[in-house]
Amino acid sequence: MKTARLAWVALTAVLLGGCSAYRWEQPAPNSDRSAPVNQDMTRTKRGNPPFYEVFGVRYQVMNSSDGYQERGVASWYGKKFHGRLTSNGERYDMYRMTAAHKTLPLPTNVKVTNLDNGRSVIVRVNDRGPFVKGRIIDMSYAAAQALNMTQAGTARVEVIALDTSYTGAIAAVSATQPAAGKSAETAARAPADPVMTDLPAQPRMYVQVGAFGEVANARNLAEQLSGSGVNQVNVLHPASGQPSIYRVRIGPFTDITEYDRIVAQVAKLQINTARLVVEDQFSDEAVVENHSATPIKNL
């Protein structure tokens, strides 16, 4: 699930990590940790690849959260992931009001309402998950507490995306039972703000098929690919830094269907290391050699 464990098949190791130095800590008495670590709503490609795969299932990241509203089951995660990197590159703090979602752009502020008791929270979605069938969102420990769902473990909720211009508190917004005469479901409903959260234009994608410490090994793989009819094959290396890592990459292209076609073509050559990278993930690299009949522009 989420945090550092995201096993991108198409986006392996692009945005994951962890930090064993972080340790479990009890919240300070009366401490106010309702605000997230970072309220910057800038959406980077690191947290928003065109798609990713976990446990053999492909998830396409939404270009916009415009009009997003969904009901389903929420769960929560806590101590086990405290201090690890989220998919957005922020530290997961179980005491802050955050959440994980499989396809919403990162970050997105959402209002989550427990339909069984009317409690609501506004949280920052900065992570991916939950990868459990039938669950639509994973709440932080603090958010789950505010929704009064930590003991049960799950709750029936409604999730509504907020406008990116939202600057209110990332906190519990209603911690009381519904007013008399109103059902929990009626009290939980709230009008969605107009949402304008478009991501940048679809990034150019590449299939990376290998990374080597020796340029000769990278050349051999590139020549094998080009000799088998694969176009747009390039060998790249860092423009600075030591040691040099030579990467073999195919592309660019913007269509996911084309990505799948190339991966299938490479798999026929018994090369099963293909993964997705997007345009800005290796901005310090330069094309060393082009091994295909169709040249492409230098990065």
Determine what percent of the chain is predicted with pLDDT higher than 70: 67
Residue 277 in contact with residue 249, Cβ under 8 Å?
Answer: yes
Instruction: Please say whether the beta carbons of 235 and 288 come within 8 A.
Output: yes
Q: Is residue 193 part of a domain?
A: no
| Helices and strands (H, E) in the chain, number of each type | 4, 14
More confident residue, 70 or 55: 70
Same domain as 239, residue 172: no
Same domain, 16 and 163: yes
Q: What is the pLDDT of residues 74-133, one digit of tens each?
A: 999 988 899 899 998 888 999 999 999 999 999 999 999 999 899 999 999 999 999 988
- pLDDT for residue 134: 83
The mean pLDDT value for 30-39 works out to: 48
257 dihedral zone (left: phi>0; alpha: psi -120 to 50; beta): alpha
Helix, strand, coil share (%) of the chain residues, nearest 5:
15, 30, 55
Return the exposure string of 173-208: e unless at least 16 CB atoms fall within 10 Å of the residue's CB, then b: bbeeebeeeeebeebbeeebeebebebeeebbbbbb
**Poorest-confidence range of 108-117, 206-215, 226-235, 290-299?**
290-299
Q: In 10 A of CB 30, how many CB atoms?
A: 5
The verdict on 71 and 149 lying in the same domain is: yes
Is the per-residue pLDDT at 162 higher than 80?
yes
42 part of a folded domain: yes
CB 131 within 8 A of CB 101: no
State yes or no: pLDDT of 17 exceeds 70. Answer: no
Residue 152 lies in a domain: yes
Question: Please, which pLDDT band fits residue 27 given cuts at 50, 70 and 90?
Answer: very low
Whether residue 64 has pLDDT greater than 50: yes
Q: Residue 14 has what pLDDT?
A: 34
Q: Are residues 182 and 216 in the same domain?
A: no
Please state which of the ranges 33-47, 100-114, 187-201 shows the lowest mean pLDDT: 187-201
Examine residue 197 and state whether it is found in any structural domain, yes or no: no
Answer whether 9's CB lies under 8 Å from 51's CB: no
Predicted confidence at residue 142, as pLDDT, reads 93
Pick the residue with more confidence: 226 or 56?
A: 226
Tokens 């976990």 found at: 54
Domain CATH code at residue 29: 2.40.40.10
Q: Do 174 and 262 share a structural domain?
A: no
The per-residue pLDDT for 20 is 28
Is 153 inside any structural domain? yes
Q: Mean pLDDT of all residues in the chain?
A: 74
Residues 264 and 123 placed together within one structural domain of the fold: no
Please report, for the domain that includes residue 214, its CATH number: 3.30.70.1070
Instruction: Pick the last residue of a domain from 188, 216, 243.
Output: 188
Domain with 34 in it: 3-188
**Integer angstrom CA distances of residue 158 from 70, 172, 213:** 6, 15, 50
Report the domain count for the chain.
2
Q: 142: Cβ–Cβ under 8 A, 6 or more apart, which residues?
A: 33, 34, 94, 95, 96, 97
Mark whether 174 and 229 lie in a shared domain: no
**How far is it, in rounded angstroms, from Cα 240 to Cα 124?**
36
Q: Is the model more confident about 92 or about 288?
A: 92
* Residue 142, helix vs strand vs coil: helix
- Within a domain: 295: no
- Higher per-residue pLDDT: 133 or 14: 133
**201 DSSP assignment:** S
Q: For residue 159, with 0-12 CB atoms within 10 Å meaning exposed, 13-18 middle and 19 or more buried, which class applies?
A: buried
pLDDT of residue 70: 92
Handedness of CA 36, 40, 43, 49 (dihedral sign): negative
12 and 132 part of one domain:
yes
Q: Is there a single domain that holds both residue 159 and residue 264?
A: no
Does residue 298 form part of some domain?
A: no
Model pLDDT, residue 279: 64
Query: Which stretch, 197-211, 223-237, 254-268, has highest mean pLDDT?
Result: 223-237
The predicted pLDDT at position 195 comes to: 33
**Is 200 part of any domain?**
no
Going by pLDDT thresholds of 50, 70 and 90, the confidence category of residue 293 is: low
